[in-house]
Amino acid sequence: MRTVRRVIREKAFQSLFQLSTDIDCTFEEVIQYSLESELDMKKEFSLEEAMKQVLPQDKNGNQIVKDALDYLSILVSGVKENESVIDETITKHLKSWTLSRLERTNLLILRLAAYELLYQKEIDKRVVMNEAIELTKDFNDQKASKFVNGVLQSIVDTQS
């Protein structure tokens, strides 16, 4: 079952992927695109309506939708605004790799998780790591998830 935070992270990843291919889009546009990717394209949805549609049915009340949109926006803007620091952190923990060699999917998932580890201290590090691993399995494969886990574990170990 998809949790609210899982949906938020998935949509943040999709938004960051869109931003990495179309730099002329705004944060709001890519968030809208990511939310609408699961919806009937014949209808127009506000951000709130789209978020309500993609969240689990038992978790889509007005306050949850607002909080989910707020956190989604924080993740997307936070990753982009802090990209250089995040990339420096990731680079320090790559063994025999460079950022330019990483698949875009893995890089974006690492950036998203590293942002949460570095800037969202109230979120449990194990949850962040687990979500990143699951996203990697969904958007890449098992082998890539082990790589992402190793890099994130190294980041966590140096923070302790």
Tens of pLDDT along the chain (160 residues) come to 679 999 999 999 999 999 999 778 899 999 999 999 888 777 888 999 999 999 998 888 899 999 999 999 999 999 999 999 999 999 999 988 899 999 999 999 999 999 999 999 999 999 999 999 999 999 999 999 999 999 999 999 998 6
Output the pLDDT for position 63: 93
Residues 140/124, Cβ–Cβ less than 8 Å: no
User: Which pTM was predicted?
Assistant: 0.94
Alpha-carbon span 114 to 90, nearest angstrom: 7
Output the pLDDT for position 1: 62
Output the pLDDT for position 24: 86
CATH homologous superfamily for the domain 4-159: NusB-like (1.10.940.10)
Chain mean position to CA 147: 17
Residues 132/109, Cβ–Cβ less than 8 Å: yes
Could you write out the three-class secondary structure of the chain?
A: CCCHHHHHHHHHHHHHHHHHHCCCCCHHHHHHHHHHCCCCCCCCCCHHHHHHHHCCHHHCCHHHHHHHHHHHHHHHHHHHHCHHHHHHHHHHCCCCCCHHHCCHHHHHHHHHHHHHHHHCCCCCHHHHHHHHHHHHHHHCCHHHHHHHHHHHHHHHHHHC
83 Cβ contact partners less than 8 Å away, ≥ 6 residues apart: 111
Alpha-carbon span 103 to 142, nearest angstrom: 14
Q: Based on C-alpha coordinates, what's the Rg of the chain?
A: 15
